[in-house]
Amino acid sequence: MSKVYMVGAAMVPMAKYRNSSYSGLAVPAVLNALKSAGALPADIQSVVCGHAFGGMLTGQRIVKELGIGSIPVLNVDNACSGGASALNAAYKDIESGRHDVVLVIGVDKLTQFGGGTLPLVQEDPEVQRGMVMPALYAMRARRFLHERNATVQDLALVSVKARRHGMNNPYAQFRSEVQVEEVLNSRPICDPLTLLQCCPTGDGAAAVILVSEKGRRKFGKAAVRIAASVLHSGQVTAGFRDMLRPEITSHSARDAYEAAGFGPQDLDVIELHDAFSIAELVYYEALGLCAEGESADYLKSGKTTYGGDVVVNPSGGLLSKGHPVGASGVAQAVEMYWQLTESAGTRQVPKARRGLTHVTGGGIAGLDHGACTVHLFERAL
């Protein structure tokens, strides 16, 4: 069993790149991740590529462009969790001793759909009935407002914080501040969620280089240890589900904390799945950052921004940075690499030592989500 480290990371600035193919999006991220690790294409022993909409052989279409071949290239779809699931697959190969240097890619191009909500699988009975992702989150939000002592202003504050953080991230799709009124007055998407409470459509790619202890000695670069990598699937029920207690996230986090030997109170920085404003509030509780029922107050007290307990989504999160679905799990790991190696520039979380990334995936009938990944990271000295 080897420890697993990230020694290189890069991404493209999230935006709309209608003139770029999947390889056109991902190749610059891969080249820069290699460069930051001091690695050559020939050093790569295996590739895992996460995506949701890339089509056949997405990973091979990317890495062949720089001459990487004759090694395993695995393509992973797990909806929005595709990139993080790729990270999990690479983690397991390094941990088990199978490989010493693995390239992980996350990529997606949502502009190919021309805008609107994410296309879901038409075989699903709820999708046939009209389910779209913002509607699912909107029902969570409605229930949250019903059960908790919370208001739509509380929801909007999530977007306000995300956009404030995103101002300092050159890689973010949105880099301007917004106020509560502007968020609430933006156009309705699925009540009570308005446009500025929904992550934007866009394109992006990210890449990280994972290595074993042996690989780490070879490159000798600044390293971040992956202390836990957990992947869960949803558990079906045809009965009642508490939409404010996403068990897939709380169980994944529980297992990750147990594997890493540290917990939510030890975290300095978190990148969590804020695809919609309500998600962040629900996940504060599911990840154990605050007690059940306290998430709105926890946000308003400033505990999840600079100067608080833990900085949640310093990158701006999906709401500000953008959410090219299969890319996001890897882009979160890239942000974690920068934060834990003190190279995040003006958005650096001071003295960040430990971090968590979290991304869920997919809307299918009977499940909270189809997939959930939680990774824990620690600065390696």
The CA distance from 254 to 350, in Å, is 26
Q: Whole-number minimum distance, CB 282 to other proteins, in Å?
A: 29
By CB under 8 A, residue 81 contacts other proteins: no
Residues noted as catalytic: 80
By CB under 8 A, residue 32 contacts other proteins: yes
* Cβ nearer to other proteins, comparing 12 with 131: 12
CB under 8 A: which stretch of 153-161, 296-304, 342-350, 363-371 binds other proteins? 342-350
By CB under 8 A, residue 27 contacts other proteins: yes
Strand-pairing partners, residue 49, are 75, 105
* Cβ nearer to other proteins, comparing 22 with 283: 22
CB under 8 A: which stretch of 115-123, 167-175, 241-249, 320-328 binds other proteins? 167-175
CA-based Rg of the chain, rounded to a whole angstrom? 19
3-state helix, strand, coil in the chain (%, to 5): 40, 20, 40
Q: Which of 65, 182, 266, 297 binds other proteins (CB under 8 A)?
A: 65
CB atoms within 10 A of CB 380: 17
Which residue reads 């109170």 in tokens? 265
CB under 8 A: which stretch of 22-30, 209-217, 227-235, 291-299 binds other proteins? 22-30
The CA distance from 355 to 347, in Å, is 15
Applying CB under 8 A, what is the total number of residues that bind other proteins? Answer: 40
Token pair listed for 186? 């933006």
Is 34 within 8 Å of 209 (Cβ atoms)?
yes
By CB under 8 A, residue 15 contacts other proteins: yes
Strand-pairing partners, residue 223, are 380
Which residue reads 């690499």 in tokens? 337
Is 31 within 8 Å of 60 (Cβ atoms)?
no
Strand-pairing partners, residue 270, are 312, 356
Token pair listed for 118? 């994410």
**3-state secondary structure (DSSP) of residue 283:** helix
By CB under 8 A, residue 55 contacts other proteins: no
CB under 8 A: which stretch of 18-26, 144-152, 154-162, 270-278 binds other proteins? 18-26
Q: Whole-number minimum distance, CB 194 to other proteins, in Å?
A: 26
* Cβ nearer to other proteins, comparing 45 with 339: 339
Q: How far apart are the first and last CA of the chain?
A: 20
* Cβ nearer to other proteins, comparing 25 with 156: 25
Q: What x/- string results for residues 191 through 230 when contact with other proteins is judged by CB under 8 A? A: ------------x-x-------------------------
By CB under 8 A, residue 31 contacts other proteins: yes
The CA distance from 235 to 255, in Å, is 16
Residues that bind other proteins (CB under 8 A): 10-13, 15, 17-21, 23-25, 27-29, 31-32, 34-36, 41, 64-67, 170-171, 175, 203, 205, 335, 337-339, 341, 343-346
